[in-house]
Copies of this chain bind each other. A is one copy, B any other.
Amino acid sequence: MCKRRGFLWPSYDIYGGLAGLYDYGPLGAALKRNIEEHWRGLYVREGFFEISCPIVAPEAVFKASGHLDAFSDMYVECTKCGETFRADHLAAGLHPNPASLNETELGNLLREHKVKCPSCGGELTDPKRFNLMFKTSAGAGKGKVAYLRPETAQGMFVNFSQVYRFGRERLPVGAVQIGRAFRNEISPRQGLIRLREFSQMEAELFLHPDHKSWPRFNEVRNVELELVPNKGEPRRMTLEAAVKGKTIANEALAYFIWLTYRFALDVGLDPARLRFRQHLEKEMAHYAADCWDLEADIGYGWTELVGIADRGSYDVQAHISHSGADLTAFERFDEPKELEEEVVRPNFGALGPLFKGRARQVAEALSKMPVGSVKGKDKVEVSVDGEMLAVPSSCYEVALKKEKVSGRKLVPHVIEPSYGVDRILFSVLDHAYVKKDDYVTLRLKGLVAPIKAGVFPLMAKDGLDEIAMSICAELTKAGLVAYYDDSGSIGRRYARMDEIGTPCCITVDYETKDDGKVTIRERDTAEQLRIEIGMVPKAVETLMSGGNLRSLSNLK
């Protein structure tokens, strides 16, 4: 249905395609845009700033983020047919968590169970690690190593200072980005669920570490949500109780869990097939304070659509350490304080002989480092002119400094709601799809439906077609996408519109010429009502915003 009706299809099909890539056709592209637009609106109304960064990024960014070292899967290759497979997938069922094994362990496991190539039965190689970023090179000659971003998030982390300044140097401040991200999957096989190129909508909320709340939390504290915490039974509880009982780490996280829920219902996901699941302790990254996934029950089982994580200071701190840039916020005290502060004090006596002409630069970099990142280490790395230098602990000490200060620098914490657009789109289609006696209705919400109204002349003659076209034009002018159709029986035209999720249809018949009225039909109830032509845009708008035909009768 998706392919036939123009929602989506495999990309570059005429050349045999490339696994993990899909095109959005006219209906799919419109549905996707509607989902993205609604998300943007929600976050912009919360006060987030949208920015837009390039997809291609230099290596240093991913060295800092950890993607270069840790964003990988293991694969095996068939020695006969050459096909490659995710090694942990082939070991499914042979071990409780194959992905947690290292190459050798996983290789032994596969050998032990005599696992062969699923395609041709050939022998498999030993598992090897494969970095999942697409690699490329910028510029001629040797060029500079670069990668396609695996997430939009890093663009916002490296721009923290820009965003903070634009927000007039206050915390909390948030950035959002909607765009493509890439993951060089070893063997993508689940349609829109596991793509090599996908779209993300990510928000990064930068917070004061001691104040992890959000102004509008008050408005939702009494809302109840079904939660699946990593300890104890799933339960329904208010957000306030969840935060007080430490089920959810803090108010800000709880607020964005709620906002995600609201978004999910707005775009038409079925609440009975949604759940918020907290990451298990072992799933959570070591730096994460808490992490929840919105999961949807779809054809592939419970599938992660959104992740909402409190990532602590990890990301910003990583970029401070690797770039040497000052990505801090400034907290102004109500009145200046006499502070005793631990600082990193360079030891010039030791630095001079070791670093010679660069000793002063190394010293400067050292004195900018947060104390926490040097304590207890026997050497640290600093960046000088883009080069990382190892500095032994003999070159600095942690000392106490007394000072009257008006405030202090702090590394912001980050709460990150991260949405996978393609998965959300697929789930919206899945939850909306209803088949009854071979009749397909796509119960898309008006908000996201690619086409808001079908407009049909009973016959394509006698001026009925012209009236229908002018209604189409009026709807378009009102910003409502309309589709003119004059071919086949009215029943078939209804069926075509029902199948692609158009919420209502307008029919122009011979009576229209006498009474100036048309028939409007609601998709989900098949109810019909005759209304004045001039009322059509208003009527369609009412249906779009959740009204029904009964409420239409009250329109004057």
Docked-complex contact A24 and B12, CB < 8 angstroms:
no
Q: Are A54 and B166 in contact (CB under 8 A)?
A: no
Within 8 A of B (CB), among A1-60: 6, 9, 11-26, 28-30, 32-33, 44-45, 49-58, 60
Min C-beta distance of A182 to chain B, whole Å: 7
Contact size range, A: 35 or more
**Does A14 lie within 8 Å of B158, measured CB to CB?**
yes
A12, A45, A162, A487 pick with most chain B CB within 10 angstroms: A12
**How distant is A84 from chain B, measured CB to nearest CB, in Å?**
5
Within 8 Å of chain B (Cβ to Cβ): is A82? yes
**Which of A13, A139, A187 is most buried by chain B, counting CB atoms within 10 A of its CB?**
A139
Inter-chain CA distance A165–B148, complex, in Å, is 34
Does A136 touch B at the CB level, under 8 Å?
A: yes
Chain A positions 453-496 with a Cβ under 8 Å from a chain B Cβ: 476, 481, 487
Interface assignment of A137: CB less than 8 Å from any CB of chain B: yes
Q: Is the CB of A54 within 8 A of B139?
A: no
Q: Is the beta-carbon distance between B15 and A386 smaller than 8 angstroms?
A: yes
Q: Write the chain B residue with the least CB distance to A159.
A: B23
- A12 partner residues in chain B, CB cutoff 8 A: 57-58, 60-61, 158
Contact of B77 with A141 in the complex, beta carbons under 8 Å: yes
Q: Closest residue to A23 on the B side, CB-wise?
A: B53
What are the residues of chain B within 8 A of A6 when measuring CB–CB?
Answer: 49, 162, 165-166
In angstroms, Cα B322 to Cα A481, docked, is: 37
Of the residues B13, B56, B196, contact of A21 by C-beta under 8 Å: B56
* Bound form: Cα–Cα A23–B56 in Å: 11
Contacts of A487 in B (CB 8 A): 168
Q: Is A193 an interface residue (CB 8 A)?
A: no
Q: Is A278 an interface residue (CB 8 A)?
A: no
CB-defined A-B contacts under 8 Å, sample of 17: A6-B165, A12-B57, A12-B60, A14-B319, A14-B327, A18-B56, A19-B138, A21-B54, A21-B56, A23-B54, A26-B166, A28-B52, A54-B196, A75-B140, A130-B140, A134-B138, A139-B187
